[in-house]
Amino acid sequence: MREPITIGEVAELIGAEIVGDSSVTFTSIGSLGSACEGDLTHLSSNSYRRFLSETKAAAVILHRRELDCCSVTALVVENPKQAFAKATQLFVREKELPRNFVHASAIVDDSVQIGADFYIGPNVVVGKDCVLERNVALNANVVLGERVFLGKDVVIMPNVTVYDDVEIAARTVIHSNSVIGSDGFGFEPTDGEISEAVAQIGGVKIGEDVSIGAGTCIDCGTIEDTLVGNGVKIDNQVQIGHNCKIGDNSIICGQVGIVGSTVVGRNCILAGGVGIGGGAPIELCDGVVVSAKATITRSINTPGIYSGVAPYMEHKKWMRNSVRYKELDALFKRVRRLEEK
């Protein structure tokens, strides 16, 4: 059983001021409404404020303006949501893996270069000329093709396949059943009934501190590499087509599909189920936020929030049109009455 975490450790990590009992310790985290004794929680939304005065948590991370309603010890910060996210890392129960270990069932080519403190689990396959820097962990059934580069502290969870000529930079985590570097969907119609396959000879380059969710596919480039920038966070079941370029620190939520050769700028957010596709290559400038289920068929050159299933439009216009859509039936009846006069 792990040692309790002190409030001082949390305060130092998140830069908080302690208001109340400085001897508090934590054994877990919880939501404001259901937290128990020994839990750390937070308040970052008005909809949860009603729980603040009665919470049973050991302490609450909150903004100073909420102090008067807080009945327990508080950790005061400017951005409670961000601070809580950081604090949760203290409670992660990481699986202890043996180091400098290759499971007896693993197959590692003699040409592979491996740094210190590695873990290579059951049934792992590592192909020719791969390079694994220090502290890399390959969990059960991972397959690396040839000429794969893994930076330090990369973690690949079970059943991931990484094809040839993929580079994955430091501290990136790839979750189960993802496929990195498979062929892009490139077929050229011919005069007959069979389409001619376009050879996919590029690779994939993934930056530092990237997180890739379970069941995600990132295709290799047709000629040039598919690129995923530093700090990008990709949810489960995302499809990123060949030649795409994803800018630093962008967030891609579940079930997003991105057609090949799309360029997504830095600090963009694609909410769940967004589809990007069109006849010409599409570019999203830095700072674009696309709401859930929206369909993007043309480039976006102005930062902002965009919504709508089909077609997309600037968010404010979409909101106005959504309201008007509800009034269509009444407007139709009104016009008919006017026409009958």
Positions marked active-site: 242
Q: Are the beta carbons of 88 and 29 closer than 8 angstroms?
A: yes
Question: Position 147: which residue type?
Answer: R
3-state secondary structure of 52: helix
| Backbone CA torsion sign across 236, 239, 244, 250 | negative
Distance CA 159, CA 297 (A): 34
Distance CA 175, CA 78 (A): 32
Q: Are the beta carbons of 217 and 185 closer than 8 angstroms?
A: no
- Longest Cα–Cα distance of the chain, Å, equals 90
Q: How long a stretch of residues is the chain?
A: 341
DSSP character for 168? E
What number of H helices and E strands is found in the chain?
4, 40
* Token code pair at residue 231: 């700090």
Distance CA 115, CA 119 (A): 10
Alpha helices in 63-113 (DSSP H): 80-88
How many other CB atoms sit within 10 Å of the CB of residue 149?
20
Q: Are the beta carbons of 35 and 57 closer than 8 angstroms?
A: yes
* Token code pair at residue 274: 């967004």
Distance of CA 59 to the CA centre of its chain: 29
- ω into residue 80 within 30 of 0, thus cis? no
